[in-house]
Amino acid sequence: MKKATIHEIAKALNIDSSTVSRALNNNSRVAKKTKEKVFNKAKELGYKPNLLASNLRKNRSNTIGVVVPRISRYFFSTIIAGIEEVAFKEGFNVVISQSLEQVKREKKIMDNFVSNRVDGVLMSIAWESNDFQHLQNLEGLGIPLVFLDRHPASLESCNKVIIDDYKGACEAVDHLIKSGCKKIAHFAGPQFLEIYKSRLKGYSDTLKKNKLKSEPKLIVASHLMKDDGFNIMRDLLEKHPDIDGVFSANDEAAVGAIKFLKKIGKKVPEDISIVGFSNDPLSEVVEPPLTTVDQFGAEMGKKACELLIQNIKHQKDDPFQYQTIILSPKLIERESSRGVIERRIN
Amino acid sequence: MKKATIHEIAKALNIDSSTVSRALNNNSRVAKKTKEKVFNKAKELGYKPNLLASNLRKNRSNTIGVVVPRISRYFFSTIIAGIEEVAFKEGFNVVISQSLEQVKREKKIMDNFVSNRVDGVLMSIAWESNDFQHLQNLEGLGIPLVFLDRHPASLESCNKVIIDDYKGACEAVDHLIKSGCKKIAHFAGPQFLEIYKSRLKGYSDTLKKNKLKSEPKLIVASHLMKDDGFNIMRDLLEKHPDIDGVFSANDEAAVGAIKFLKKIGKKVPEDISIVGFSNDPLSEVVEPPLTTVDQFGAEMGKKACELLIQNIKHQKDDPFQYQTIILSPKLIERESSRGVIERRIN
DNA sequence: CTGTTAGCGCCTTCAC
DNA sequence: GTGAAGGCGCTAACAG
């Protein structure tokens, strides 16, 4: 079961292992003939390079570490697709880990990344995060970090790629108002995270701009899971049966709300209109087709990866310069698949 | 930016680095006092173990490699959740890679796994796979392999954790027949894969058992993407407008079919009933709530990971003994959310 | 173009 | 309980 090494190739060919190493790495100052011999012998012996040794020697792993809350969320898996596209093109490997929204796991993952000498880290932080020591340590170790979408509200100087959450929220609420909604609730996210703060602000500001009251009772913060959406919708309707619109800070909670509304026989969007952030492909076959704010995950992943690689490459010569890249979200309307919405008059 | 090593800890404490190594690994024959001193100094210096070096020395990485076609599919992300649960409990790290259904990428990933000395591999193969050399090489290198769900039709002797696809298909088609369907189509998957062969066989056999004709024209093989479902449904209905049931080998194609039916104003399940394999959580809020065959991804992931770890641990002493673990799928009915189905009489 | 030498950081005998 | 020595497999000077 012992794997072949460059030394065995060297011995078999009566040359030095350093020449073999150079040949395998396609170094220009190795004779063509030698290279061929080496390649053939390598194949013959079933040689597989040991990257552990190589990376140890070179003190870098050619690997980018990615941390997301969970890969099962469509938004994050599109982000990952974008990251991989750029990373592979640039010759980097990608290691994906999920924090499952737990800081504890986030820290372990970071430790692991450091111990395995990843060259850089891309991350969307867990929403229970309120302690960012583990992130600041990274830079002390010379490992560049770029935040993707979710970033700490308390951290000013950092690299990040985000969408314009404020603008997206404004458009979403605008859309609800234009559809005739008079009383719009907001499913808010954890306020540790800047993105959810911005979405809330966009909601409040847009209501005010349209001369509608922004009532604290209609704003409910949660972790925005499907069950949260279900329960919040139920509780809100109990106290405020005249709610006719919901702006959810993500689509998962929106889906939960729809589930509840379906259960009690309320029609969407005739009785209640819903708009959510993120854009799962199933949104269009949910009934009703859900209007969403598209965050362009793949684009974000690509941009973030490019920024990170840039940081990795210019780590030494350049003074550290933090960048923020802001993408524009896009409202995708799907409510009118049945034609014009006719809002019922209660 | 240079990271602390055990030698620096040793020097600072005037002891040997081998003692530091033992202390950090909690070796029993190191004095308590020494251990404490070492731990403190390690923390003080911000010491992070270099796993590259450690793994190189030990010639194993404590890591399990996982390859799935795509992490964005709900079934695979639940599998991963199950794998991680078991792996972490047993002290293994998990590296996730997606083949994006391409053998080319599958091979690259395998090479990478070997080069990074993963201790074992869990995989669901790409559906264009018809060349399995890269998989058989693994065993030659002493890296145990367990297939998960998707496995090569041509490989007899291997470890695998699968569900009873045949039984699931039978139940699905039975359900359609009991709902009154007379003409049932099948969205089949690539026949390289055993799972899709079994699902097709379950479909045919159940039709025959119920004295219904199994017509080749109603069986369409594809990659079962959403668009495939959409297009196949359209083409089938054009030629056979009297189709009243569909058994889809996965839920994604089923969703595509629903999208098409919605577009042309056909009602599901009144006009056409649909059942699909896999059980995405959105199935219940799609309209109509989709009846599915649940594959219990997390269970499969757990079992597979257990089997793999068992293989890793007993690699030396035991003769290689292949195992097959078969789980039972479960039909989850959701069609009757509107009450009893009343099938229209054309 | 190729060989020599010297580690990367850690672990594991083998001594004492 | 601790130290000394050697090497995991590879690469990067430095010679020639």
* Residue A148's pLDDT band (cuts 50, 70, 90): very high
Task: State, as a whole number of angstroms, the distance between the CA of B128 and the C1' of C6.
Answer: 48
Task: State, as a whole number of angstroms, the distance between the CA of A53 and the C1' of D6.
Answer: 17
Residues 205-224 of A with CB under 8 A from B: none
Query: b vs e for B142-167, b when ≥16 Cβ sit within 10 Å of the residue's Cβ?
Result: ebbbbbbbbbbbeeeebbbbbbebbb
* Residue A1's pLDDT band (cuts 50, 70, 90): low
Does residue A204 belong to the interface with chain B, where contact is any CB pair within 8 Å?
A: no
- Domain contains A239: yes
* Residue A346's pLDDT band (cuts 50, 70, 90): very low
Report which residue type is found at B229.
G
Q: What pLDDT was estimated at residue A290?
A: 81
Q: Which residues of B touch A71 (CB under 8 A)?
A: 71-72, 77, 80, 96
Q: What pLDDT was estimated at residue B340?
A: 38
Q: What pLDDT was estimated at residue A71?
A: 92
Whether A324 shows a pLDDT value over 50: the answer reads yes
* Residue B344's pLDDT band (cuts 50, 70, 90): very low
* Residue A315's pLDDT band (cuts 50, 70, 90): confident
Q: What pLDDT was estimated at residue A341?
A: 44
- Domain contains A257: yes
A57-70 average pLDDT score: 94
Name which residue leads in pLDDT, A331 or A321.
A331
Q: What pLDDT was estimated at residue B192?
A: 83
- Domain contains A266: yes
For chains A and B, count residue pairs whose Cβ atoms are closer than 8 Å.
Answer: 104
- Domain contains A106: yes
- Sorted by sequence, the CB contacts under 8 Å of residue A32 that are 6+ apart come out as none
A35, A96: one domain: no
Q: What pLDDT was estimated at residue B227?
A: 94
Residues 239-258 of A with CB under 8 A from B: 255, 258
A286, A337: one domain: yes
B185, B84: one domain: no
- Residue B15 domain boundaries: 6-49
Name which residue leads in pLDDT, B64 or B313.
B64
Whether B339 shows a pLDDT value over 50: the answer reads no
Burial classification of residue B9, based on how many CB atoms lie within 10 Å of its CB (0-12 exposed, 13-18 middle, 19 or more buried) = buried
Whose tokens are 């079961």? That residue is A1
Name which residue leads in pLDDT, A139 or A344.
A139
Whether B140 shows a pLDDT value over 90: the answer reads no
Report which residue type is found at B64.
I
Whether A336 shows a pLDDT value over 60: the answer reads no
Number of structural domains in chain A: 3
- Sorted by sequence, the CB contacts under 8 Å of residue B167 that are 6+ apart come out as B202, B328, B329
Report H helices in chain A.
Answer: 6-13, 17-24, 32-45, 51-58, 74-89, 103-115, 133-140, 165-178, 194-209, 226-239, 251-263, 297-313
C-alpha–C-alpha distance, residues A222 and A57, integer Å? 47
pTM over 0.85: yes
Whole-number average pLDDT of chain A: 90
C-alpha–C-alpha distance, residues B118 and B217, integer Å? 46
* Residue B106's pLDDT band (cuts 50, 70, 90): very high
A93, A70: one domain: yes
How far is CA B306 from its chain centroid? 15
Say whether B72 and A74 touch across the interface (CB within 8 A): yes
A72, A23: one domain: no
A290, A186: one domain: yes
Give tens-digit pLDDT for A212-235: 988 999 999 999 999 999 999 999
B290, B317: one domain: no
Instruction: Determine whether the distance from the CB of B115 to the nearest atom of strand D is below 7 Å.
Output: no
B275, B256: one domain: yes
- Domain contains A253: yes
A80, A132: one domain: yes
- Pair A62, A92: CB distance under 8 Å: yes
| Least confident stretch, A185-194, B55-64, B124-133 | B124-133
CATH of the domain at A222: 3.40.50.2300
Residues near chain C (nucleic strand), Cβ < 7 A? A 14-19, 22, 29-34, 53, 56-57, 59; B 2-3, 5-7, 17-18, 21-22, 24-25, 47, 49-50, 53-54, 56-58
| Least confident stretch, A205-214, A311-320, B268-277 | A311-320
Q: What pLDDT was estimated at residue A120?
A: 96
Q: Which of A51, A77, A284 lies at the smallest CB-CB distance from B259?
A: A284
- Domain contains B54: no
A215, A338: one domain: yes
Q: Are strands B219-221 and A324-327 parallel, antiparallel or unpaired?
A: unpaired
Closest CA to B325 of B151, B193, B98, B73: B151
* Residue A89's pLDDT band (cuts 50, 70, 90): very high
A71, A214: one domain: no
- Domain contains B56: no
Q: What pLDDT was estimated at residue A146?
A: 96
C-alpha–C-alpha distance, residues A272 and A316, integer Å? 55
* Residue A96's pLDDT band (cuts 50, 70, 90): very high
* Residue A271's pLDDT band (cuts 50, 70, 90): confident
Name which residue leads in pLDDT, B64 or A319.
B64
Q: Are strands B330-332 and B291-294 parallel, antiparallel or unpaired?
A: antiparallel
DSSP for A219-255 reads EEE----HHHHHHHHHHHHHH-TT--EEEESSHHHHH
The secondary element (H helix, E strand) that includes residue B248 is strand B245-248
Nucleotide C9: closest residue by CA–C1': B53
Nucleotide C3: closest residue by CA–C1': A16
Q: Which of A77, A137, A255 lies at the smallest CB-CB distance from B72?
A: A77
Does residue A61 belong to the interface with chain B, where contact is any CB pair within 8 Å?
A: yes
Say whether B50 and A70 touch across the interface (CB within 8 A): no
Say whether A141 and B115 touch across the interface (CB within 8 A): no
* Residue A325's pLDDT band (cuts 50, 70, 90): very high
Q: What pLDDT was estimated at residue A209?
A: 95
Which positions of strand C lie within 7 Å of protein CB atoms? 1-13
Report H helices in A116-187.
Answer: 133-140, 165-178
Tokens representing residue A51 in the block: 């990257």
Q: Which residues of B touch A140 (CB under 8 A)?
A: 46
B274, B249: one domain: yes
C-alpha–C-alpha distance, residues B340 and B313, integer Å? 53
- Domain contains B1: no
The residue in chain A having the minimum alpha-carbon distance to the alpha carbon of residue B94 is: A97
Q: What pLDDT was estimated at residue A284?
A: 77
Cα-Cα end-to-end distance for chain B: 77
Name which residue leads in pLDDT, A290 or B51.
B51
Whole-number average pLDDT of chain B: 89
Give tens-digit pLDDT for A10-21: 999 999 999 999
Give tens-digit pLDDT for B307-323: 999 999 887 666 568 99
Residues 85-124 of B with CB under 8 A from A: 93, 95-96, 98, 111-112, 114-117
Name which residue leads in pLDDT, A99 or A140.
A99
Give tens-digit pLDDT for B225-265: 999 999 999 999 999 999 999 999 998 899 899 889 988 98
* Residue B345's pLDDT band (cuts 50, 70, 90): very low
Q: Return the HEC string of A5-23.
A: CHHHHHHHHCCCHHHHHHH
